[in-house]
Chains A and B, each alone.
Chain A
Amino acid sequence: MGRIQLKQVQKAFGDVEVIPPLDLEINDGEFVVFVGPSGCGKSTLLRLIAGLEDTTSGVIEIDGADATDLPPAKRGLAMVFQSYALYPHMSVRKNIAFPMRMAKMSQEEQDKRIDAAAKALNLTDYLDRRPGQLSGGQRQRVAIGRAIVREPAAFLFDEPLSNLDAALRVGMRMEISELHKKLETTMVYVTHDQVEAMTMADKIVVLQAGVIEQVGSPLELYRTPRNLFVAGFIGSPKMNFIQGEEAAKHGAQTIGIRPEHIDVSMSGGQWQGTVGVAEHLGSDTFIHIHGIPGCDPMTVRADGEVTVSYGDTVSLTPRSDQIHKFDANGLRMS
């Protein structure tokens, strides 16, 4: 079981309110991702749940029981840190065994769980090495192993992949997702990378300045962002925002259109512009187009084989059913 409920939880450091009172419900077995720009309070929120920070006010419930004042160890949660926080003087085996040793578990049970975790995480050959002798990805797996063996009610991940290189990150992303499918344990995952959020989450919580901007499944956030911030944060490349006359035509202050929802042609489209930088990724081409009124530059996703060069004039047609409208307060107009 791992149901976590935050009720009017607030956190202030001195006079600075980092997290204004917020409510959040995390259901059993869910993979929840906290995403937001740096300094938005997502790590603080995770540390509040972990018990590493005290709440200023509000209640945290785990499985229906008040856990607000419980010390971290008593909450039955396991955490994976950004720096992995492995114990450098202990072997991998001892690192993984540490929480069980603290819980005074029997030696056979410890060995059994270590072997199982090592097998699941491909660490069997490295059990007698020290963390210093492992690569980044292996260290990450040890940190996860240390969390698994406790069989916690929920896993907390604090930007676990940000110290890994790009290729490894994609691999670890898959491994963590697979682990979640296998264990069916609640996982709370903090990241600033919206790609990680989109690919892994059952439920994404978008945070800005400690305030929850929107909660929803990845596709919900993609299809119906509640405001300009979420619209700009979710999706890569970013959504194009158009203001002024063009937006007024739709009766909105700002309209948004995603790069993948604009068709490029040589002539006859709704908007005309000149090609700036074109980024060829092979599968896609991202073209930055200048000269569109109310939006400069506009990013467009085109086919990978498209051949445009700098300074070409192209014409663009947005798909009318994919236009997001926002009012003067930046909120979505349905």
Chain B
Amino acid sequence: MATKASRSSARLMISPAVILLLGWMIIPLGMTIYFSFLRYNLLQPGATPFAGWENYYWFFTDPSFSAAMLNTLVLVGGVLTITTVGGICFALLLDRPMFGQGIIRIMVIAPFFVMPTVSGLIWKNMFMNPVNGIFGQIAAGLGLQPIDFFGQIPMASVIFIVAWMWLPFATLILLTALQSLDQEQLEAAEMDGASWVNRFWFIMLPHMARAITVVILIQTIFLLSIFAEILVTTNGGPGVATTNLTYLIYVSSLLQFDVGIGSAGGVVAIILANIVAFFLMRMIGKNLDA
């Protein structure tokens, strides 16, 4: 199959796509790095002098910066925990034969198809609004004080909404992993005297380890850049309670019109993402080979 000619022609034919993708990545990256060293404010058009490390200095000393870093990690960690644990539970439930299995599976996967802005708005207005929302109504009906979700527990609420969106993804991947488990292994474990808990712990969970790794890796990449849900629900507030790194960059560059500081934040975000990815790969990468 892979003759010398076919290999070089394959390389030739794939190169436009590769070059295009590379350009798409390199050009914005290069421009972000370039902008991050300029004094570049949209309110002062014309002059964009070189600023050295000044933008980075201002970004790091921004009073919201440390809060944003912490919020980013809390958001990612919280959503990962909920989706992985919840995804395993859902996968175990959906793996059982039951009536209407097909429809239930589609319903479970459905939240993934809802756009982030839409789901954020639906949760904000229809469920979590203390006056009109269902939760508020239920609380009022029971004579309890309704919770003002985005006022009292803003971070938990955002985590909840994002987790709701990503739970189907985790469930789907973990369910396929679970279905690929050889039934004879479970039967052998049953013969060996393993209770359900033991079978889960010693057979199913190790079997799913690789899928869990994939779920965590992919989700981390996407969760580091959560933005729409925060924009439509809390606007990063109250105060900076739900401002994550992405949102802080948005605030710097589009609310304060400072492209230079925003770009510096972007570079910081890229570095952070790489650090996280590196540690994740180190930590769980050994699950991927085997």
Interface of A with B (CB < 8 Å)? 50, 52, 71-73, 77-79, 81-83, 85-90, 98-99, 102-103, 146, 150
Tell whether B283 is near chain A: CB-to-CB under 8 Å. no
- Give the complex CA separation of A102 and B188 in angstroms: 12
Cβ-defined contact, B190 with A73, below 8 A: yes
> Which of B2-10, B14-22, B72-80, B191-199 makes up part of the contact surface?
B191-199
Cβ-defined contact, A102 with B198, below 8 A: yes
CB-CB under 8 A for A98 and B184, given A73-B191, A73-B193, A103-B193:
no
Tell whether B202 is near chain A: CB-to-CB under 8 Å. yes
Question: Which of B184, B192, B195, B206 contacts A146, CB < 8 Å?
Answer: B192
- Give the complex CA separation of A98 and B191 in angstroms: 11
Cβ-defined contact, A87 with B185, below 8 A: yes
B209: nearest chain-A partner, CB-CB: A89
Cβ-defined contact, A78 with B184, below 8 A: no
- Give the complex CA separation of A52 and B188 in angstroms: 10
Cβ-defined contact, B187 with A73, below 8 A: no
Chain B nearest CB, measured from A267 CB (Å): 58
- Give the complex CA separation of A36 and B173 in angstroms: 41
Known: A78-B191, A85-B188. 12 other contacts (CB 8 A): A79-B187, A81-B188, A85-B185, A87-B203, A89-B207, A89-B209, A89-B290, A99-B191, A99-B193, A102-B193, A102-B194, A150-B192
- Give the complex CA separation of A77 and B190 in angstroms: 11
Q: What are the 6 closest A-B residue pairs judged by CB atoms, nearest first?
A: A73-B193, A85-B188, A99-B192, A85-B184, A102-B193, A89-B206
Chain B nearest CB, measured from A162 CB (Å): 13
Q: Supply 8 A–B pairs (Cβ within 8 Å), ascending by A.
A: A71-B190, A72-B187, A77-B191, A79-B187, A79-B191, A86-B185, A103-B193, A146-B188
Q: Which residues from A are CB-within-8-Å of B184?
A: 81-83, 85
Count of A-B residue pairs with CB < 8 Å? 60
A52: nearest chain-B partner, CB-CB: B187
- Give the complex CA separation of A77 and B193 in angstroms: 10
Cβ-defined contact, B206 with A50, below 8 A: no
CB-CB under 8 A for A83 and B191, given A89-B206, A102-B198:
no
Within 8 A of A (CB), among B153-209: 182, 184-185, 187-195, 198, 202-203, 206-207, 209
Cβ-defined contact, A73 with B182, below 8 A: no
- Give the complex CA separation of A79 and B203 in angstroms: 17
Chain B nearest CB, measured from A248 CB (Å): 51
Cβ-defined contact, B182 with A98, below 8 A: no
Query: Which residue of B184, B193, B198, B209 has the most chain A CB atoms within 10 A of its CB atom?
Result: B193
Cβ-defined contact, A52 with B190, below 8 A: yes
Cβ-defined contact, B182 with A102, below 8 A: no
Question: Which of B187, B195, B198 contacts A85, CB < 8 Å?
Answer: B187
Q: Which residues from A are CB-within-8-Å of B203?
A: 87
Cβ-defined contact, B191 with A50, below 8 A: yes
Q: Which residues from B are CB-within-8-Å of A86?
A: 185, 188
- Give the complex CA separation of A99 and B203 in angstroms: 13
Cβ-defined contact, A83 with B182, below 8 A: yes
